[in-house]
Amino acid sequence: MSDWPNIWISKKTAANGVQFDLSLIEQDGTVEQYVPIAALRALEKELAPASPEFKEWLVHYRQTTGRESVRGSSSARKAFAARLKEGRTLEELKRATVGCHGDEFCRDNGFDTPETILRASKVERYILLATEGRSTRPDPLDAIVNRDA
């Protein structure tokens, strides 16, 4: 037998008269809890298997950042798929990881998360950081030098 409960969908009527589909039935046939169908669909998406490319990227992310506990949220998987659909390659996304984590400002402020690295507005910047090997942290000496200019 599976560890997963059998899910039954039934019509229920709320106190305000609105009908909605929900129900979670345990394997022994007793009602364990009622759950809205939208919540079940969200859980299904969260538990959906990741693509082989995302799994490879996630292994690289863990090795780069040392964060072995990161499992790859559904939002990270969606962002990864969207970047691939836009034409990014797996290697570019790996470079973005290196660029973001290698940047002192991003790393020190906790911005080197999968969701941030894979964000459409950030990924190009992080790829450039890896390519150029520079930091976005302002150099305090620049403020002194530029003040005198």
Q: Same domain, yes or no, for 56 and 128? A: yes
N- to C-terminal Cα separation, the chain: 75
Q: Same domain, yes or no, for 69 and 115? A: yes
Residue type, 96: A
At residue 133, the pLDDT reads: 73
138 located within any domain: no
Q: Same domain, yes or no, for 58 and 105? A: yes
At residue 34, the pLDDT reads: 59
At residue 2, the pLDDT reads: 45
Which range of residues forms the domain containing residue 35?
10-47
Q: Same domain, yes or no, for 83 and 28? A: no
Q: Same domain, yes or no, for 61 and 128? A: yes
Q: Same domain, yes or no, for 91 and 123? A: yes
At residue 119, the pLDDT reads: 96
pLDDT in tens, the chain (149 residues): 445 445 545 555 555 555 555 555 444 555 555 566 666 666 666 666 788 999 999 999 999 999 988 888 889 999 999 999 999 999 999 999 999 999 999 999 999 999 999 999 999 999 999 988 765 555 555 555 555 54
At residue 87, the pLDDT reads: 97
CA–CA distance, 126 with 140 (Å, rounded to integer): 22
120 sits in which H/E element: none
CA–CA distance, 102 with 41 (Å, rounded to integer): 37
Sequence-separated (6 or more) residues with CB below 8 Å from residue 95: 126, 127, 130, 131
At residue 15, the pLDDT reads: 58
Q: Same domain, yes or no, for 36 and 62? A: no
At residue 19, the pLDDT reads: 53
At residue 25, the pLDDT reads: 47
At residue 57, the pLDDT reads: 95
